[in-house]
Amino acid sequence: MTNGCLHSEWRAEVKVNHIADVDRYMVDVRVFCVHCNRNLRFLGLPAGVDMNLAAVSADGLEVCLAAVPEGDPVRALGADLRGFTMATLVKPHPPSVDGGTA
């Protein structure tokens, strides 16, 4: 509750996209507070796009889920069609003047 809002009511925006050339669906979900419009940030998933698994957008505000209609066979897509992931590179802190770390 950093902005005074209790975040007591939420809404979800869901988009379903059909990727026709691989006959796969991607479901994008964004969740936001009705009162202050702040988004939920999704944790614990890799950032990027994966046609076989779940991932989050670079800012963590949208989750992207791979999906097929119920009853359809689930085929794992080859490595050339999976998507991409993103990594964060962290620059180490320079040592302090007294020889310790910052």
pLDDT digits (tens, 9 = 90+) for 37-88: 999 999 999 999 888 889 999 999 999 999 989 998 877 766 444 455 555 5
Domain count across the chain: 1
Assess if residue 3 is contained within a domain. Answer: no
Assess if residue 95 is contained within a domain. Answer: no
By residue range, what is the domain housing residue 56?
10-85
pLDDT at 89 over 80: no
Assess if residue 63 is contained within a domain. Answer: yes
Confidence of residue 99 (pLDDT cuts 50, 70, 90): low
- Exposure string of 33-53, with b = 16+ CB inside 10 Å and e = fewer, is beeeeeebebeebebbbbbbb
pTM over 0.85: no
